Amino acid sequence: MRLYLEDKTKTKNPAALLRQADYHQETDRKTGEVSFVKNIDGRDFPRFHIYAEEKEGGWQINLHLDQKRPSYSGTSAHAGEYDGEVIEKEAGRIKTIIPQLQILNG
């Protein structure tokens, strides 16, 4: 699921806000790509997974749910869900909490 978050305080630091929203940063060892994950029940999977990029005064967020680790070595294929009730609920939480965190940190 894609969503747009406005950078109201011009912090240009989605990583700090996402950490405060219970996500931790993860860097792909092969590509160096940075993303953010939130474990759901204390195990590695399932987990929410976010890619964020700066876009027009805010951030474009790509949110999905990783159900399990990639099956084959050397591949990025995984059992990811990009829509549905669980994703919509987490997207709603993010849309609510990030602006609140921006105000608190502003």
Its domain, for residue 86, covers: 2-105
Q: DSSP per residue over 6-67, as a string?
A: E-TT----HHHHHHHTT-EEEE-TTT--EEEEEESSSSSSSEEEEEEEEETTEEEEEEEEE-
pLDDT under 70: residue ranges of the chain: 12, 72-79, 106
What's the number of domains the chain is made of? 1
- pTM of the predicted protein model: 0.86
pLDDT single digits (tens) 40-64: 988 999 999 999 998 988 999 999 9
DSSP 2: E
